[in-house]
Amino acid sequence: MDDAMFHKARITGQGFSVVKSVYTNMEVDAVLQIIGQADTSKDTFRRSDDLFAIRQFLKELPGVLPVLLNDRLKELISSLFGENYFIVKSIYFDKPPGSNWYVAYHQDLTISVDQRSDIPGFGPWTVKQNQFAVQPPLSVLENNFTIRIHLDDTTEENGALKVIPGSHMKGIYRPETIDWVTEREVSCAVPKEGIMIMKPLLLHSSGRTTNNKKRRVVHIEFSATELPEGLRWSERINL
């Protein structure tokens, strides 16, 4: 595994880093096999010509947990962030060959909680597939991180994330205010079996597929923040 100090510096300064060979080919195949056997009729499953997604992925398919939370990933999280983090959200994305689905530049500004509770500093609120999402205080987002586990080789041609390095340090950064004279865009290619680690406030986007190749990714968000009374993480899983 690549040097942890290098990745820690990259995440702190740039807002992201790519780590190769966190998983084996057998582990990737095992995850895909479990996904292939899933009951896709539930509300948390979304399927269209451009995208197949599973919200609350680890709750819907708990059999993937021992594979995804392998010793290499746990060791990396511990060395980069410490021992106090836990999982708070998970989504599986399958961008099929020929997909025209894309996502414009944005920050990940909401967290998933079990119910709505009007608490100062938390809002606005939204609901998707019976899951409550709320924008928390900035300090919560600054403390969180996301790991994207790549089950296919991902390049700019099949929807690898494009990011604006350092944008995670600028608070709420509205996409329409991006100054392209001073900002630069980076495409984050990630090989199969590797991961991308990123901060939720990092501005990121994803383009359409142009090379007719799949892009399957497991997106997992982590936090070390205990929410105030009246709110609970809807997908909390301790490591």
pLDDT digits (tens, 9 = 90+) for 38-81: 887 777 777 776 668 899 999 999 999 999 999 999 999 999 99
191-227: pLDDT as tens digits? 999 999 999 999 999 998 899 999 999 999 999 999 9
Q: What would the mean pLDDT of 27-39 be, rounded to a whole number?
A: 94
Q: Edge-to-edge, what's the strand order for the sheet holding 204-206? A: 103-106, 204-206, 161-163, 186-187
CB contact set of 122 (below 8 Å; sequence gap of 6+): 134, 135, 136, 137, 231
CATH number of this structure's domain 4-107+145-224: 2.60.120.620
Q: What is the mean pLDDT of the segment spanning 136-155?
A: 97
Rounded CA separation 92/217 (Å): 6
- Are 95 and 209 spatial neighbours (Cβ–Cβ below 8 Å)? yes
Sequence-distant (≥ 6) Cβ neighbours of residue 37 within 8 angstroms: none
- b/e string for 135-144 if b means 16 or more Cβ within 10 A? bbeeebbebb
**In this structure, how many other beta carbons lie within 10 angstroms of the beta carbon of residue 123?**
11
Please give the model's pTM, rounded to 2 decimal places. Answer: 0.95
Give residue limits of the domains in the chain. 4-107+145-224
Report which DSSP code applies to 98. Answer: T
Give residue 128's pLDDT band: very low, low, confident or very high (50, 70, 90): confident
Helix (H, G, I), strand (E, B) or coil at 62: helix
Segment 222-237 mean pLDDT: 96
